[in-house]
Amino acid sequence: MNEVEYLRIISGQRQDWRAQTLKPCLWVCSLFYRAVVSFRNRMFDWRLRAIERPLVPVISLGNLTTGGTGKTPFVAYLARWFQQQQIQVTLLSRGYRALPGEVNDEKLLLDRLCPGIPHYQNPNRCASSKQAVKEDAQLLLLDDGFQHRKLARDLDIVLIDAVCPWGHGWLLPRGLMREPKSALQRADFVILTRADQCSPATLERLKVEVAEMLSPDRIACAVFRPQELVNVAGDTESLASVAGKTVWGFCAIGNPEGFRQTLENAGFVVAGMQIFPDHHHYSSSDLEGIGVEAANASADLILTTSKDLVKISEQKLSELPVWAVEIGAEITEGREAFEGILQNLVQEVSSD
């Protein structure tokens, strides 16, 4: 069973006898997972496990579920924001699913989106934080850091996907929750992403639910706006120039349905989409198959995500142009409160 089929089972999209047999087994496994997570958190809460504090402020950006909340666009948003404030920010990430001796797709993308901003990938982020401080970092931005409690932080930001906020309602592996909802009590600020892809009533209910664990003035809403198209050569194309075109999509991200919704909201006619496991490394046969499917669907062009584009070198597949939809994060509600907190960190750094 691959990751795509697993997601179909836990989300309820697949309802055959195998799925119905597997879900109780996954539920039992999730009970053991809950016990391990609870024990680990208690060890940190009671200071029975060491927590290292770097010599500079740390911002953690993470989530409660496994991927799909839009962390990468928000890491870029925060990195550029501090860069504009003349703060030397450095990114720290684990390097999840990187090939041996290589960096992963997130670093490749962030290097392009945040030129000039150092980015250290190391599963031992305490070690990379020390290295960054030696290289004159003034502020550390910890990517996917909510569960990485070994490194102390000055601001803990959690992203929640408004479309699927609680990972299908269960902890791993029955669902996609890394921790129970109660873990939000550790957060300093919560941002509800893809707020434009759910109904206003659903969004309001989610705000109320989150406000049970966090002050309402520490909750913001955000959307991801398509900005332009870009290809592997770095050429760009406006969205208006291809509006209404028939497209074939492919992606290997945590929330593929979010990408489909983005394409449809941008005015494209989505003839179909191929979904691969998160952080998938594309083979030549994968790309050939994408081109064949797109041509058979009479697509005008092939669209993917920026995170997927950095893993391929082809400008065309089956003679169809391949473009990535460049996405930008935008806070639509609660921006003033959020940036006020960021500004406090700027003042802290500037006073040192």
Q: 127-182 pLDDT, tens per residue?
A: 999 999 999 999 999 999 999 999 999 999 999 999 999 999 999 999 999 999 99
Task: State whether 71 and 209 are in the same domain.
Answer: yes
Q: Is 12 annotated as a binding residue?
A: no
Rounded to an integer, what distance in angstroms lies between the CA atom of residue 274 and that of residue 77?
A: 28
Residue 268: which CATH number?
Answer: 3.40.50
Kindly indicate the confidence band of residue 2, based on its pLDDT and cuts at 50, 70 and 90.
confident
Task: State whether 91 and 215 are in the same domain.
Answer: yes
Residue 52 lies in a domain: no
Task: State whether 149 and 271 are in the same domain.
Answer: no
Task: State whether 336 and 275 are in the same domain.
Answer: no
Q: What is the mean pLDDT of residues 226-237?
A: 96
Q: Is 68 annotated as a binding residue?
A: yes
What share of the chain has pLDDT > 90, as a percent?
A: 91
Residue 208 lies in a domain: yes
3-class secondary structure, 134:
helix
67 pLDDT exceeds 80?
A: no
Q: Which domain holds residue 342?
A: 58-224+330-351
Q: What is the overall mean pLDDT for the chain?
A: 95
Q: Tokens 């473009």 belong to which residue?
A: 323
Q: Is 101 annotated as a binding residue?
A: no
Closest Cα to residue 170, out of 285, 346, 16, 22? 22
Q: What is the mean pLDDT of residues 236-246?
A: 94
pTM of this structure: 0.95
Q: What is the mean pLDDT of residues 83-101?
A: 91
Task: State whether 183 and 240 are in the same domain.
Answer: no
Q: Is 66 annotated as a binding residue?
A: yes
Residue 50 lies in a domain: no
Rounded to an integer, what distance in angstroms lies between the CA atom of residue 267 and that of residue 6?
A: 30
Closest Cα to residue 336, out of 189, 153, 143? 189
Task: State whether 176 and 319 are in the same domain.
Answer: no
Domain count, the chain: 3
Task: State whether 151 and 67 are in the same domain.
Answer: yes
Rounded to an integer, what distance in angstroms lies between the CA atom of residue 109 and that of residue 117?
A: 12
Residue 112 lies in a domain: yes
Q: Is 175 annotated as a binding residue?
A: no
Kindly indicate the confidence band of residue 101, based on its pLDDT and cuts at 50, 70 and 90.
confident
Q: Is 167 annotated as a binding residue?
A: no
Residue 51 lies in a domain: no
Q: Is 150 annotated as a binding residue?
A: no
302 pLDDT exceeds 80?
A: yes
Q: Is 67 annotated as a binding residue?
A: yes
Instruction: State the pLDDT at residue 1.
Output: 75
Residue 53 lies in a domain: no
Instruction: State the pLDDT at residue 305.
Output: 97
Instruction: State the pLDDT at residue 276.
Output: 94
Task: State whether 205 and 248 are in the same domain.
Answer: no
Rounded to an integer, what distance in angstroms lies between the CA atom of residue 103 and that of residue 120?
A: 10
